[in-house]
Amino acid sequence: MAGTLMASGAVTVGDIRWRLRRDTAAQHRALEHLVPVMRPNLTLGDYRDWLWRLLGFYQPLEACLGEQAVRLLPDWPRRVKSDWLLADLRHLGLVARDLETTAARCPALPAFRDDAGTLGVIYVLEGATLGGQVIHRHLHQRLGVGPSSGGRFYAGYGTRSGERWQAFQTVLRAQVVSESEMATAVTAATATFRCFSDWISA
C-alpha cells in the first residue's frame, strides 16, 4: 500500500500467507507505480499532500475495523496508522480545524464482515507498514523528516517492525485455516488494494 509490501519468514504453499502474497501480487505491483514518495524530485509540499490523501483512506477504514480488529489483535490501538498521519500533518503545518473539516474521505471502502475478511484487510495495512521502512529512509535523506518530525507514519514500528509483523502473521495463520476462510481473506485483501488504488488515482 503506502509502502512496499514485504513478508518475512518461511511460507509454505497452501499457507494463508502464501495465498495472500500470490493472489495480491498483481495489485501490489500496480500500486507501487502510483505511490509518489520515492520520486527523486519529491518536495515537502508533495509529501504533505500525499499524507493528506492517505489520511482520507486510513481514517475511515480503521474506524470500520474498530472493535473487530481489537478482538483479533489486542494491541490494535497501537497499530492505528491514522493517528500517525495526524501527527505528521500537524508537524507539517496543518491545524486541527483543517484536519477536522476539510479532509476528503474515501467513499468506497473494502467490504468485510467476518474475522477472515477483517484479517485480509489488516494484512494489507500491516504489510504496507513493514514496507514503509524503505520509504522512511528515503524520506529522511530527501526531506529530513523523522519519527518526531513529520515522518511518524513511515517510521512505523521502528525496530519492532519485524516483531509486530510476525505477531500479526501468527494470528492470521491461527484464524484463517479453511478454504472458505482463505478465500474470504484474499477477497478482502484484493478489495483493499483496489479501493486504495482507486482512491489515490481519483
Mean pLDDT of 123-147: 94
90-115 pLDDT, tens per residue? 999 887 666 666 668 999 999 999 99
- The rounded distance, in Å, linking the Cα atoms of 82 and 51 is 10
End-to-end CA distance of the chain: 16
Domain definitions of the chain by residue range:
16-33+42-201
What pLDDT score does 32 carry? Answer: 86
SS3 166: helix
Question: Which fold would CATH assign to domain 16-33+42-201?
Answer: Heme Oxygenase; Chain A (1.20.910)
Tell me what percent of the residues of the chain surpass a pLDDT of 70: 89
C-alpha closest to that of 182 among 14, 43, 64, 26: 14
What pLDDT score does 8 carry? Answer: 43
Q: Which helix (H) or strand (E) holds 163?
A: helix 161-175
168-186 pLDDT, tens per residue? 999 999 999 999 999 999 9
Between these two residues, 4 and 41, which has the higher pLDDT value? 41
8-28 pLDDT, tens per residue? 444 444 689 999 999 999 999
What pLDDT score does 96 carry? Answer: 64
Would you put residue 5 in left (φ > 0), alpha (ψ -120 to 50) or beta?
beta
Cβ atoms of 55 and 90 within 8 Å: the answer is no
C-alpha closest to that of 113 among 158, 75, 68: 68
Give 54-115 as a 3 state SS string. Answer: HHHHHHHHHHHHHHHHHHHCCCHHHHCHHHHHHHHHHHCCCCHHHHHHCCCCCCCCCCCCCH
What pLDDT score does 100 carry? Answer: 63
CB burial of 171-182 (b: ≥16 within 10 Å; e: otherwise) equals ebeebbeeeebb
pTM for this predicted structure: 0.90
What pLDDT score does 119 carry? Answer: 98
If pLDDT is split at 50, 70 and 90, which confidence band does 7 have?
A: very low
Mean pLDDT of 151-180: 96
Mean pLDDT of 38-63: 95
